[in-house]
Every structure is written in structure tokens, then in C-alpha cells.
Homo-oligomer: A and B are copies of this chain.
Amino acid sequence: MNKTIYDVAREAGVSMATVSRVLNGTAVVKDETKAKVQAAIEKLGYRPNAVARGLASKRTKSIGVILPDVSDLFHAEVLRGIEDIATMYQYHIILTNSDAREDREVDLIGTMWEKQVDGLLFISEQITPKIVKTFEEAQLPVVLCATEDPEHRIPSVAIDNKQAGLDATNYFLNLGSDKIVFLGGPTSQPVTMKRLAGYEQALKDAGREFDSNYVLHAKDSHYRSGYEVSNAFLNEGFTADAVVATSDELVLGYLNAVRDRGGKAPDDVLLLSFENTRLTTIVRPELTTIAQPTYDLGAVAMRLLTKLLNEVSIEEYTVRLPHSILERTSTKR
């Protein structure tokens, strides 16, 4: 399998430049010679060496994906969207986990440069000035995916998180809920803060009082953290009739904390979360969610990146994907 373009050229009785041309379609080749070359390729089982190609052409057809953690279901689903579109455009994915640590992220952007990726898809919790600076130094086309950059310095694909927070809260207000818990990640997460802003706005619009006791910040978006912070909340004697949570796992943390106390959903508390991962239909009650188009977030981001790479004119660098509320049993009494 270690044939080179020279072997093919010799076999076909043409020059290697011609082989390169039929391989890439970069120039017109007479049908007859093209056929000869293709026959030679077939016969030898030749495959072009992508590394040599990358060095000569300065385009590797690979794109780097930096995300906090693939084993997080939300990221994994986004990644699947990225990968499908990448495959469609003949790009390969180089994947790395950052654990959302800025130092790792900076480092990874650098090694992505070394790998000569054509572009970068970046998923994280926050875009710090240092990250922006690193992007600039690396001179790589970047698209943020499901990631908020409040200053919109970088092309991005996400939903309108403030509006989504508002919609979620209004949904409960319309249902007549009185005490609505907001359960999110840490205050350092712009995504959480945007949704919280929507929550506050909705309460304000409805003339309701904002009670900070009802805003819960878990230390991350995972089940365990949601469970812990919910437990603490309930232990203090607070109760709520509805919960808006920023991730599917977080809301399940709340649910199980309630269950530990003999409570049930939706009977005792209505639940709504944000991600719409497959968890939502696997668990009981099935979870009402703000349906983020998880797969599409990745797919659209990848598509935007291909446009940047091919210098196709782009109408909008900050893409907002629509969200909607999917009503399931966790909010049906």
C-alpha cells in the first residue's frame, strides 16, 4: 500500500503531474489519459498520502474540535453533528477534550496549529480575552459552537439563551406556577447567566418578585452537582412548584432530591431543562425541555466553518438557531 504517485505515473506512462491532476481535478486532462491513470491507480491500489498533500498544498482537510468533555452527552451529540457534516465535506476531525480549562484550551489551540488544521470548532463555557488572543495568534478560522461570546468577536452558532430562559420561565408563569427555581451552572458560565437573565426578565415582566434564594448555581452541569445543590436547597426548607434547569442532568439531580423526600414529578414539582439530549425520553417522567437542536448546533457550526474556509460570502457570523419548548410529562399534571 506504500505506492507513490511516481509508481502510478510510471504504470500509466504519464508524468506525476498528470496523475496529480486527475487526482485533484485541478486541470483538464484528456479522457483517454485520465482513464489510463485511473486504471493504474486501481491496479496498484494506490492511495494518496494526505500528509504529503497537506505539506505541499498547505491545506490538510482536517479541522480541530476542542470541547470540554466528549463523555458529556450534550457534547457528544453536538460532535456527531459536526462529524457528519465534516465527512460530507471531506474533512476529518481531530478531537481533544479541554475539561473547559483555559490553560488546556490555550495549549490545545497551539497544538491544533502545529497539526495544521484548516480550521477550529470550539466549544467551551466561556471565551476569555486570553482565548481570543490565542485564536488571533494562531490565525485559524474559528467557529464557536453552543458557546457564548458576549462580545461577538468570533463567528458562532448557538441559540438565543436569554430568550430561551425567558420562554421557559413564562411557560411556568402561564401554568400558574408561583415559586420557580432557576437551577444552573456556575456564575462564570455565560450560558447560565444569559438564561438567568431571561428568567429574571420574565419575572419582572410578570410583576413578580425576584428571590435570589430560588436561584441555584451548581458547580458544573452534571447530575451529581445538581443533586447536591438541590439537596441543600430543600434541606433549608424551601419548596418550589417548578424548576427551570440549564441541563438535563441538573434537573434530574433536582428530581431525585425531591424523590428522596418522598416527592414526585410532575405531581409535586414541574420540571423543565434545556439540552434535550436523549436522556429526556429515557427517564420517567419524560422531561419537558427547551429543545436545543443539539445535533444541528454542531452541523450548522461545521457548515459555517466550511464557508469560512472557502471564503464563501457569509450573511451572518452570529447564527442563532431556533429553540422551542417540547412539552413532555414532567410538566403535565
Q: Hey, which bits of chain A sit against chain B, CB under 8 A? A: 1-2, 45, 47-52, 54-55, 60, 62, 69-73, 76-77, 79-80, 83-84, 87, 92-97, 110-111, 113-116, 137-139, 223, 249, 252, 256, 259, 278-279, 281-284, 295
What are 19 A-B residue pairs whose CB atoms fall within 8 Å in the complex?
A2-B139, A45-B137, A47-B113, A47-B114, A49-B55, A51-B60, A51-B115, A51-B116, A70-B80, A71-B73, A71-B79, A71-B295, A73-B73, A76-B76, A84-B97, A87-B96, A92-B94, A92-B111, A93-B95
CB atoms of B115 and A92 under 8 A apart: yes
CB atoms of B96 and A70 under 8 A apart: no
CB atoms of B62 and A70 under 8 A apart: no
CB atoms of A138 and B1 under 8 A apart: yes
Picked from B54, B252, B283, the residue with its CB within 8 Å of the CB of A51 is B54
Chain B residues contacting A71 (CB-CB under 8 Å) are 73, 76-77, 79-80, 278, 295
Q: Which residue of B lies closest to A65 (CB)?
A: B95
Total copies of the chain: 2
CB atoms of A1 and B55 under 8 A apart: no
Chain B residues contacting A279 (CB-CB under 8 Å) are 279, 282
CA distance A283 to B279 in the complex (A): 9
Chain B residues contacting A282 (CB-CB under 8 Å) are 223, 249, 252, 279, 283
Picked from B2, B51, B76, B259, the residue with its CB within 8 Å of the CB of A284 is B259
CA distance A80 to B76 in the complex (A): 11
CB distance from A261 to the nearest CB of B (A): 13
CA distance A9 to B45 in the complex (A): 41
Q: Which residue of B lies closest to A248 (CB)?
A: B282
Q: Which residue of B lies closest to A137 (CB)?
A: B1
CB distance from A92 to the nearest CB of B (A): 5
Chain B residues contacting A79 (CB-CB under 8 Å) are 70-71, 95
CB atoms of A114 and B49 under 8 A apart: yes
CB atoms of B278 and A256 under 8 A apart: no
CB distance from A61 to the nearest CB of B (A): 9
CA distance A284 to B69 in the complex (A): 25
CA distance A150 to B284 in the complex (A): 38
Chain B residues contacting A77 (CB-CB under 8 Å) are 71
CB atoms of A70 and B94 under 8 A apart: no
CA distance A284 to B223 in the complex (A): 13
CB atoms of B83 and A50 under 8 A apart: no
CB atoms of A281 and B1 under 8 A apart: no
Contacts A93-B95, A97-B83 given; does A278 touch B51 at CB 8 Å: no
CB atoms of B116 and A49 under 8 A apart: yes
CB distance from A284 to the nearest CB of B (A): 6
CB atoms of A47 and B92 under 8 A apart: no
CB distance from A137 to the nearest CB of B (A): 6
CA distance A256 to B69 in the complex (A): 29
Picked from B76, B113, B281, the residue with its CB within 8 Å of the CB of A70 is B76
CB distance from A72 to the nearest CB of B (A): 8
Chain B residues contacting A256 (CB-CB under 8 Å) are 284
Chain B residues contacting A45 (CB-CB under 8 Å) are 137
CB distance from A63 to the nearest CB of B (A): 11
